[in-house]
Amino acid sequence: MQEQTALEGFRRLAFGDIRDAVKLLFCDELNPRALHNMNLFAVSEIRRPKGGGMEIRFFDRIEALRLLSELENADNGADGLLSAIEQGAAALERQEKGGKSP
């Protein structure tokens, strides 16, 4: 279950929308209600420098894609191992039923 949550999080980081963060960057006044409704999942840091303005940093999409790929490939490997174990168990059962030794 945790692995599925991680996969979904990395998908959101890699392919997620950043329009709300760009809107935030260019808005003149911050409305707390509007801020609460914004999708800022991909934002890693928001700063207001002393000189004015705003800096928004995003999580690394390439890194999220790499980790997503690793998790998905690890998932496929586990499925392959499980499938091989199931096939081996089924073959042993057939041999036992047929009276043949392995």
- What's the pLDDT at 78? 55
22: phi then psi, degrees, rounded to nearest 5: -70, -40
Flag whether 102 is in a domain.
no
The 10 Å CB-count burial string (b at 16+, else e) for 38-63 is eeeebbeeeeeeeeeeeebeebeeee
- What's the pLDDT at 79? 59
Regions of the chain with pLDDT less than 50: 101-102
Q: At what angle do helices 61-98 and 2-15 cross, to 10 degrees?
A: 140
Flag whether 60 is in a domain.
yes
Flag whether 78 is in a domain.
yes
88-99 pLDDT, tens digit each: 677 767 777 775
Look at the chain and report how many structural domains it folds into: 1
- What's the pLDDT at 83? 60
- What's the pLDDT at 75? 59
Q: Which domain holds residue 60?
A: 2-97
What is the C-alpha R_g of the chain?
24
If phi over 0 gives left and psi between -120 and 50 gives alpha, with beta otherwise, what is residue 58?
Answer: beta
